[in-house]
Structure 1
Amino acid sequence: MLTLAKHANAALMFFLELAVLFAAGYWGFTVSPNWALKLLAGLGAPALFIAAWALFGAGGGANAVYPLTGLARAALEIVWFGGGALAFYAAGAATPAAVLAVLFVVNAVLRLVWKQV
């Protein structure tokens, strides 16, 4: 049963990563009434998040170009997932922002307890 819970927590981490990208895009498409700026921000913000994750956090660091561990990895996750929550909030979606933040904290605590980090 614990193995199933650990796999579910890993899947949650993946869906949280997707939620951050969605939040960045959602924010970008609400940032301005100008369609050119909407396209630039709506496509550019997720691209920047993807680049940061690929460079420093992909695959728990195993697939990253510059893998981070320890406190640096924790800081990356807080900034990355916090950035997703802030993007939702800045776009006027306070409830999804809160849900993303709470789910990230629960996921992170479980990953620490179950040594999935």
Structure 2
Amino acid sequence: MLRGLNLTLRFLLELVALAALGYGGWQAGWSGWSRPLLAVLLPVAGAVLWGLFVAPRARYPLPDPLRLLPEWVVFGGATLALLLTGHPVLAVVFAVLAAANRVALRLLDTSTGGATLPG
């Protein structure tokens, strides 16, 4: 049951990360055309990175601990986007939940996909 809850939380954190990247992109836009462009490009870049290296059916799955790098880029980027848009409490809550979820998944020996190390 705990594994299912943590995997559900993980999925929700992924969605929140993409939303935060989109919001951050919108807020970072300087002119009329850059706002929607960044609001689309930042979450798309996060989703592509996630899909290539982290997702359960990633095209190029990375083994632990290497897969932490793209995870940190996406979750860290979302945290930074929340911080820079004036939402420090949300940023801290998001970062703590993401870190706690990663630790819980590891302690519960729950896979989120990825490759296995040889040997």
TM-score, normalization by structure 2: 0.88
Conservation of the 8 A alpha-carbon contact between 2:20 and 2:82: yes
Question: How many residues align structurally?
Answer: 111
For residue 28 of structure 2, the aligned residue among 7, 10, 31 is 31
1:79-98 to 2 correspondences below 5 Å: 79-98=73-92
For residue 60 of structure 2, the aligned residue among 52, 57, 66 is 66
1:47-68 per-residue CA deviation (whole Å, 9 max, x = no partner) reads 1111111111111xxx111100
What is the match of residue 14 of structure 1?
Answer: 11
Identity within the alignment, %: 33
The one-letter code of the counterpart of 2:24 is W
1-side partners of 2:104 and 2:7: how far apart? 10
Q: Pairwise CA RMSD of aligned residues?
A: 1.1
Relative to its length, the structure with more helix (as a share) is: 1
Unaligned 5+ residue runs, structure 2?
A: 112-119
2-side partners of 1:80 and 1:68: how far apart? 15
Unaligned 5+ residue runs, structure 1?
A: none
List 4+ stretches of structure 1 deviating above 4 A: none
For residue 115 of structure 1, the aligned residue among 96, 109, 114 is 109
Q: Which has the higher contact order (CA 8 A, sep 6+)?
A: 2
What is the match of residue 115 of structure 2?
Answer: none
